[in-house]
Each structure stands twice: as C-alpha cells, then as structure tokens.
Amino acid sequence: MGNGAYGVWKGRAVGSVPATGTRTHFQLRLRADGHHAPSADARVAINVRSDTNPSELLYSLDTDFRHPVTGHLVGFPWGFSPMRGRPGGGAIDYVRGGCVKREHMVPLPCHAPGPDNDLCDAIGRLVLHATETPRVIVYAVGEHWGPDHRRDKHFNFYPACGMHNIHMMQGNVGRFMRDDAPWSDGALFFQDVDRGRWTALFLAFQPQSWHTDEHGHAIPDTPPMAEAPGTPVEGLVRIVAAQVNPKGSDAGHETVTLINRSPLGLSLAGWTIVDARGRAEPLHALFLNPGGAATITLSGKGAQLPNGGGTITLVDAQGSRVHHVSYTRAQAQKQGWTVLF
C-alpha cells in the first residue's frame, strides 16, 4: 500500500474532468452530502491508462452488484473513513474477497474511435448518471491523500484532498511491489438509493498477478494476470448451497453443500471451508463420489455464516482457492431456508 490511509470516501458526484491527451486519470469530484463548502469536497483520481506497456487497463463493470461489502459501505458517514486492511469491514480484495472474477475483466483502451467503446466513455457514463441523479451515492475505495494547503489543481476547491489507487493493489511487479497488500484493493461503487441497485467498477493493470501470498506479493512462477489460486480444480467442486440462518441456534447447525462435478472421485482430506473473517472449518477425510454431493455441518468453532451477509470459500489442501461464493443480508433473512448459489 502507498503512504496514505486506506479507506472509503462517500459522497455525491458534483463534477468531473475526463482524461485527455496523454493524461492517465479520469478526475471525479465528490461532495459530502449536506455540505456546500469546498472543504467538504474531494477529488478521486481514477486510472484509465497505464504509463507502462501494455497501456490498457483491465476493467469489469457489474451493473447489478450484490455482495455483503455493500452492507458495510452504507454504514460509513459522509466524507472519508479509514478502513483496516482485513476482511469483514468493507475492505476490498480482488483475489480473496469474491467481489470480482478475473475472467470478467477485459482490457479496454483509454480512448478509441467512436462512441461508447473505451474506458473513458464507460466511466463517463457512470459519472454522468451519478451527477444528474441526486439519489446516487458514490463510494470511492482506495488510498486517501491530503489535505494539502493549496487549491485543487482540477476543481479549484481548498484544501486539496482526495482519493487515488482506485484499482487492484497486489500482485505488482518492479517498483510497484512496495505497494502490495492484501485487503487493500481499490474500487468504485455507485448506490442508486431509489432503485435499490448497486453498480461496481473494478480496475487492474495487466502485469499484476492474481496468485498472491499473505503479503499481497505475486507468487513466483505464475504468469501475469493468472487466474486466482485454485484454477486447476476450479469448477470440479463447487459450493452450491448453504443454510445460513437455521431454525434455533446458528452455532453448530449452519451447513454448506458441495458437489463434485467431475467424473472422478475426489478426496477432500485437508481441505477447508473459510468464512469472510478467515476462520476455517476442516473437512477431514471427506470423499466425494463422481457427481456426488455432501452437506457439511459447521461446528461453530471454525467457519461461521453471519446472517448479515458473508462469503464462503472452499480451499484445497495446498491452500489454493477452489470456489468462492457470497450471500447478502436479504438472502439470509428467512430462517430455516437454504441459500442457493
């Protein structure tokens, strides 16, 4: 991570400056709701081009984003709030958090001939809608900078302050390795309050690796932008259901159902089920027949499934992620019902 504090800036979009020429950032101006003084403003610098080859960023836009992280974001006050780089409090991790999948990210140029076909166009549409719609709230997750004792160079408010590193912040190469950290990735979220809908924008640089260690450093001998840990067995075993809110006490009664999609029997000895806080439930000597399924009852001493929303990750004996799902508070409200994935 850089020198600034990791966190989220919550505000309403009140202006923007698109990237032109050789500029590498789209500039977004946010304002804390209910405030009109320039001191309540912040500038969000959004990368739209890399200054090293390849210049195109990887981009994913989810226009119906559903993930428990939204429940944390809505609880933050207007303006900047610091976050700790760990699961369960609103922090973003592209590799571990289940917010975005590598296969959903595509390279997009900063500028391309024609309308609606480049990264500046995509961000511009989001920002225009947010600016023209009073009930859209923007959450910029990244690294805070300032306040500086000068006017902002793009929007002229005082004092200059804002957010940057609104992109993946791990698996870096070269001089950028010093910024590596887990649970410290950046992203941009738009909450349409009237429609009850979220849109999420995720950005990454092509040389970054999705196979990272506990410090966020790329694991050696993996190609740039390799899929997250678990790719060789991704899809063989999947989490298909969970009883998050069982009748009676949750502890010792929550369940997770797995299915073996392959034509081969699989031993899951040494595998674990991991929750959003990193608590692990060992599977011991579980064996799945070809096409077979198994429902695991969680002991309550390892992985736990909070009713306020969470994530469930299946990890193999080598520590690689095999499958990852998430559920929201709304999905967990009906007691005794099973959530399907």
**What b/e sequence results for 117-132 when a residue is b if at least 16 CB atoms lie within 10 Å of its CB, and e otherwise?**
ebbbbbbbebbeebbe
**134/154 Cα distance (integer angstroms):** 23
Are 47 and 123 found together in one domain? Answer: yes
Number of structural domains in the chain? 2
Last residue of a domain, one of 171, 205, 239: 205
Residue 261, domain member (yes or no): yes
Are 248 and 167 found together in one domain? Answer: no
CATH (domain of 245): 2.60.40.1260
- The answer to whether the beta carbons of residues 340 and 241 sit under 8 Å apart is yes
Residue 47, domain member (yes or no): yes
Residue 223, domain member (yes or no): no
Last residue of a domain, one of 205, 240, 261: 205
Are 269 and 128 found together in one domain? Answer: no
- pLDDT in the model for residue 92: 96
Residue 293, domain member (yes or no): yes
Residue 219, domain member (yes or no): no
**112/117 Cα distance (integer angstroms):** 6
Closest CA to 298 of 289, 290, 310: 310
Are 192 and 239 found together in one domain? Answer: no
Are 149 and 246 found together in one domain? Answer: no
Q: Name every residue whose Cβ is closer than 8 Å to that of residue 131 and which is 6 or more positions away in sequence.
A: 13, 14, 15, 16
Residue 217, domain member (yes or no): no
End-to-end CA distance of the chain: 33
Are 158 and 64 found together in one domain? Answer: yes
- pLDDT in the model for residue 162: 97
Per-10-residue mean pLDDT for the chain, 341 residues long? 82 94 93 76 96 90 92 95 91 91 88 83 95 96 95 95 97 92 97 96 94 87 50 71 93 95 86 90 90 95 93 84 88 94 93
Last residue of a domain, one of 153, 171, 205: 205
Domain that holds residue 171: 6-205
Residue 257, domain member (yes or no): yes
Are 250 and 190 found together in one domain? Answer: no
- pLDDT in the model for residue 228: 43
Give the residue carrying structure tokens 């989220």. 8
Sign of CA pseudo-dihedral 132, 9, 116, 192: negative
- pLDDT in the model for residue 11: 96
Q: Name every residue whose Cβ is closer than 8 Å to that of residue 335 and which is 6 or more positions away in sequence.
A: 245, 246, 247
- pLDDT in the model for residue 38: 60
- pLDDT in the model for residue 263: 85
Are 103 and 139 found together in one domain? Answer: yes
Residue 28, domain member (yes or no): yes
